Structure 1
Amino acid sequence: MSALPERKEQDLFYVWIVASVSGFNSEIVTYPLDLVKTRLQVQGETAKSGKEALGEGPQRGFVQTTVGVVREEGFFKLWKGMSAAWLRQFLYSGVRIVSYKYIKNKLIAVNPPEKGSQFPIWKSAMCGATAGGFAQWIASPADLVKVQLMMEGKRQMMGLPPRVNGIMDAFIKTWNSGGVRALWKGAVPCVQRAALVNLGDLTAYDSTKRALLKHTSLPDALLVHFLASSVAGFFAALLGTPADVIKTRVMNQPFDEKGSGILYKNSLECLKKTVGEEGFAALYKGFLPIYLRMAPWSVTFWITFEQAMVMLGQDTW
């Protein structure tokens, strides 16, 4: 067995930039899965509500939805809304990583974990959930716009008028619908989802990597990063899928002239209606694309992050 390497302070500016770039790379690789997952999660809403605004069509599975987007809208429509996704990653990935490091090293631990030590999992979980929720609150306007743009291709195929035409138009129309508060529509379920996802991702990566370095002879290199990020992707999907379903439905629902949701008043009502009318399994709609997205997303993110930090002369995670 090998001892953990000595941990040292990282420049948080480098951490932010590297985390943002790592998030960009991960989005490019996995964005089509995110779009398909979003389409799957809003199936069933129009039938039960009588509203047409969500663009409901025949019930489809993962493969049929993917093939349908390519055939009906075009291959590159799988990346529709990418500009908003990149903006979100600049805010979200940067803030969540920097916040996690700051909370862990400055607020909870007197010093960064010393050589041979391992940060308690429950403390890591608290750091991950807090950092993820805070980062999502900052990035919620970009996430709202991203979800709206993702659904435009389906609406156009159904002959419905577009709600938004591009990222700036989406921001302007959202602002005009209710001012600055409108930009944070659906922020609560977004924050809840992000807290759970990062409880899984950050906690699993941190704890798995530390355990591998402490209890095996593996060096702090690519194999350890791959194994730890694979575990992180699984737990992020497992914990985050129910909240992701609620978040998507709340954010994508139509709003009245006062800016209030027509289908759901809040995430709790959405949870009750979803389970009551569609069953508990509805909370895991889109789990396959979520996992298939989060697994490579996590692997791409963490490997990019670790390698970039080394190239910049910074310590690894």
Structure 2
Amino acid sequence: MDFVIGGLAGAGATIFTNPMDVVKTRLQLQGELRARSEHTMRYRGIFHGLYVISKNDGAMALQKGLAPAMVLGFCMNSVRLGIYHIAEVQGWTKTKEGDISIHKTIFWSSASGVVSGLAANPASVVKTRMQAAAHPSIAVGRQHVYNGMLDGVVKIYKMEGTRGFFAGVNATCTRLAIGSAAQLTTFSTVKQALLAHGYWESSPATLAFAASLVSGLVCVLLETPLDVVNTRLYNQGPAAKGEQLYRGVFDCLRKTYKTEGLHGLYKGLGPLYLRIAPHTTLSLVIWDMLNILFSNKTR
């Protein structure tokens, strides 16, 4: 049940945050390996991106890749939050006195993030490529045409084999180890600190909401560069003319920084925050409430 609760929380939050994920993906692929003066700005920011996508591809394009995104949200969060909740219940994240142990919490949240990255990577690849696909007038990055999630799965397997589903998996696991540690450690620590000061003792939903806001901010600042790398590794696809844009995580980081500067590593920061913040808030609040609900029923 721990894994199902985590999965439902992640999938439910994805429905509301997917449009920001679409914009974030386009911004991160825009001007790929080009200096800012050498490419046309298809998207000038979050709201311009929302407008341009709606105008050229239709309003429903803001939900591109929703099916694999929900599979991703369920797989990733069922594993990540499920493992972490078991660690919490078993007391593996606490000191002998029963307080939050920072280093134990970091370990279990990072470990759960790595395992969830492995489980969810195939869905991430399909999702990113479907979100990047656009009308030629606003297309950025390599374009992959899939008629839905299952068609994407079949085409990736035919053209790239099993390896295609694990493009960028090193970056994924690294990002999730860092992001999960930041998210869950901050969430647990802030919750404990707020309770210790007497805040929202009788309102668990408000308590979870406040802790998740802080958690989302910390998470996005640490995750963005690796999220850019993830997006580009997912989207590059099979070698074109015998060459791939990137040979791996560090090659992507190096090339992006060299050609686009620090700005390139923080492309999509705004929509990533507007996706991660509500996604973190929704998923952690839903997760917390479901855990409370089911724990009360089993008593």
Report the TM-score when normalising by structure 1: 0.84
1:20 maps to 7
CA distance in structure 1 between the partners assigned to 2:78 and 2:85 by the alignment: 11
**Relative to 1, partners in 2 of residues 1:115 and 1:125: Cα closer, same or farther, differing over 3 Å?**
closer
1:37 maps to 24
Look up the equivalent residue of 2:223 and give its one-letter code: G
Counting aligned pairs with the same residue, the percent is: 29
In structure 2, which of residues 281, 286, 289 is the aligned counterpart of residue 299 of structure 1? 281
**Relative to 1, partners in 2 of residues 1:156 and 1:149: Cα closer, same or farther, differing over 3 Å?**
farther
**Relative to 1, partners in 2 of residues 1:46 and 1:268: Cα closer, same or farther, differing over 3 Å?**
closer
Q: Is the 8 A contact 2:94 2:105 kept in 1?
A: no
**Relative to 1, partners in 2 of residues 1:156 and 1:47: Cα closer, same or farther, differing over 3 Å?**
same
CA distance in structure 2 between the partners assigned to 1:273 and 1:248 by the alignment: 14
SS in 1 for 2:161: helix
Deviations 1:123-176 (A, max 9, x none): 211221221121011110000000011012345865x98522211111111111
**Relative to 1, partners in 2 of residues 1:241 and 1:47: Cα closer, same or farther, differing over 3 Å?**
closer
In structure 2, which of residues 105, 108, 117 is the aligned counterpart of residue 127 of structure 1? 108
CA distance in structure 1 between the partners assigned to 2:218 and 2:296 by the alignment: 27
CA distance in structure 2 between the partners assigned to 1:217 and 1:116 by the alignment: 21
Report the number of matched residues.
Answer: 293
Report the TM-score when normalising by structure 2: 0.88
2:187 maps to 205
In structure 1, which of residues 213, 223, 229 is the aligned counterpart of residue 206 of structure 2? 223
1:146 maps to 127
Q: Is the 8 A contact 1:116 1:214 kept in 2?
A: no
Q: Is the 8 A contact 2:171 2:230 kept in 1?
A: yes
Aligned ranges 1:253-292 → 2 under 5 Å: 253-256=236-239, 262-292=244-274
2:42 maps to 58
**Relative to 1, partners in 2 of residues 1:256 and 1:237: Cα closer, same or farther, differing over 3 Å?**
same
2:60 is equivalent to residue 72 of structure 1: no
CA distance in structure 1 between the partners assigned to 2:182 and 2:95 by the alignment: 23
CA distance in structure 1 between the partners assigned to 2:43 and 2:10 by the alignment: 31
2:224 maps to 241
Deviations 1:161-193 (A, max 9, x none): 852221111111111123222211111111111
Alignment RMSD, CA only?
2.8
Look up the equivalent residue of 1:83 and give its one-letter code: A
CA distance in structure 2 between the partners assigned to 1:234 and 1:78 by the alignment: 24
**Relative to 1, partners in 2 of residues 1:119 and 1:175: Cα closer, same or farther, differing over 3 Å?**
same
In structure 1, which of residues 167, 175, 183 is the aligned counterpart of residue 149 of structure 2? 167
1:101 maps to 85
2:174 is equivalent to residue 192 of structure 1: yes
Q: Is the 8 A contact 1:156 1:162 kept in 2?
A: no
2:102 is equivalent to residue 81 of structure 1: no
Q: Unpaired runs of 5+ in structure 1?
A: 1-12, 49-55
